Structures are given as structure tokens and as C-alpha cells.
A = this chain, B = another copy of it.
Amino acid sequence: MTVNPIQQVAIVGGTHGNEFTGAYLVKKFEQFPNLIKRSSFETLTLLANPKAFALGRRYIDCDLNRCFNKEKLSNPNPTALEENLAQAIEKILRPEGNSNVDFIIDLHSTTANMELTIIPVDKSPFNMRLAAYLCSINPLVHVYSWQQTGQESPFLRSICQLGCTIEVGSIAQGVLNATLFEQTEKLIYTILDYLDAYNQGQTNEISSTLTLYQCVEMIDYPKNQTGELQAMIHPQLQFRDYQPLNHGAPMFLTFDGQTITYSGKATVYPVFINEAAYYEKGIAMCLTEKQLHGLGAA
């Protein structure tokens, strides 16, 4: 591994204003900064979209977590509030003439039952080894990847080369769930301790492989010709994120009571099942392939 010591870590919450877990964790860390202080690096906190958070809405004009691609970050005349915010956040985390944030943790929640999901910035050995370490100490942790290697990312986390999103659920939008709040908090401390140990040349023992859930297909809800929803997630699939879905198993239940089954041949592992914010994106779930990712020697 050729990663230099980590000098600055950013913990970001409220990228989506109705995902309270991250927003209130950031507020807690601002009140009790010692909780996230480690001897070998600085830790910053950021409430990414305060206006959306104040209104309890995901966003004001557009999804902030889709504004971090090169095109939007370099747009000289951004109009949407979130496009402006993305450019401002980039300046905070990658200030000109100053040292950049090395490692990012972006805190999200989902109405899907994804427990503690780690979405690494990319599949670099450093990010993968950290993810494997987190899996090894907590069975609720799963590792998910949206993208194939090399694909451009519009997500806030992509502002750094190291780090991850933490996606916890199921939590309704606009509420706090104390159990998941505490689990997320503990996971953050584990990451900070890991980075601190790394800086001090200590390596944590991990297995040589990581189970990675790689997105292979996004599935929309059944809709009619005018684009209206015609079905719901089937009760037998609801809350079954990361469970195997085999050919012929129920996926949707139409409003008139018909079951629609999974027609694919390969076994897949759906995630983001019935995520509230993805209705408007036309995503009922993301089908993943379960991959064993080799980590190489430490």
C-alpha cells in the first residue's frame, strides 16, 4: 500500500436534509469535538445542506449528491442551490494552495433495510482493506459498490480518493432511530481508530478477501404508458436487502394483486429495496452480484 499518512478527515452529514442520522451526528461531534479527535490527523465536520435540513427535505432544487461530477463542479454559472453548494463544498475540502482533505466519511440513511452499508469511494486497496476490516468486526456491515472501476462519480464522496459513504437503514426520512444512530456513531469511531493506527504504522489483521455487492442492474417499478406506478415491492421481498433473489421469486405486487417475479437466470442480491428517494429516480431496487474481492498481502 502506497498511501501517505492521512492528515485530514472530513465527516459530512445532512448531504440529504431529511436523513437525520448524519446531520445530528455532525451536530453532536461539533458539540463534543473530542469524540472525533485523534492524535495523528485533524477531523473536520460539515453539515452539507443546512437549508434542506432546516426544511426536512432531501434537497431544495436538485439532489446535492449528484452534483459532484466534473461538469457541474466546473460550471461557471450554477443556478440550482445544490450546484452552488457542491462548488462551495469542493472549495472547503480541496482548498487551493492548502492541503486537501485526505479521507471522507459521508453519512446517509435509507428506508431500505441495508443495516450498516459501506460504499467505498472506489476499489483502491486502501478503501477495500478498510471495508474488509469493518466487516470483520461487525456482522451488520455490508460493502456495496455502485460503479464499475473508472466510471465517473457524481457523489459527494468522490471529492476524495479515500473514504466512503455510510448508508444506514431502514430509517424513515425525517426521523432519528436511536439504535441506528449509535451503531453509525460506533462505526465512525472504528474508522477513525483504524486511520489513526494506519498512520502509526500498525496494521489490523484482516482476511484476504472481501465480500463486495457490485451493482449490476437498476430495476424500475412497473409503470403504465403514462409513467404511473402499477405495483409495489412484493411483501416477500420488502426489507430483504442483501438476501439472494432467484429466478421465479416474487419481486412486485401489482395494485390489482398480481405477483411479478424475477425473470433473470443468475442469483442476485437486491439492495436499496423501496428507498423513498428513488421513486423519483425510477429505481425500485438495485440488483447486485456478490463478489469475492481479493485484497492481497498487507
Contact residues of A with B, CB < 8 Å?
24, 27-28, 31-32, 56-57, 111, 170-179, 181, 228-229, 232-235, 238, 253, 255-256, 274-277, 279-280
Contact = CB atoms under 8 A, between A and B. Distances in A.
Given A172-B172, A174-B276, A176-B233, 6 more contacts: A24-B255, A32-B256, A173-B173, A174-B279, A175-B275, A177-B238
Contact of A276 (B172, B233, B253, B277): B172
Nearest to A255: B28
Nearest to A173: B173
Contacts of A181: 232
- Chain A, interface SS category: loop
Nearest to A171: B172
Given A181-B232, A255-B24, A173 B174 contact: yes
A232 to B, nearest CB: 4
Copies in the complex: 2
Contacts of A255: 24, 27-28, 31
A52 to B, nearest CB: 12
Contacts of A27: 228, 255
A280 to B, nearest CB: 7
Nearest to A21: B232
B56 A232 contact: no
A256 B276 CA distance: 29
Contacts of A232: 176-178, 181
A-B pairs, top 5 by smallest CB distance, nearest first, are A172-B172, A174-B276, A111-B172, A178-B232, A176-B232
Contacts of A228: 27
Contact of A229 (B24, B178, B274, B280): B24
A256 B255 CA distance: 45
A298 B177 CA distance: 45
A23 B178 CA distance: 30
A170 to B, nearest CB: 7
A280 B18 CA distance: 12
Given A24-B229, A232-B181, A174 B277 contact: yes
Contacts of A178: 232-235, 238, 253
Contacts of A256: 28, 32
B175 A274 contact: yes
A121 to B, nearest CB: 28
Contact of A179 (B57, B111, B235): B235
Contact of A173 (B32, B172, B274): B172
Contacts of A174: 111, 173, 276-277, 279
A237 to B, nearest CB: 9
A238 B111 contact: no
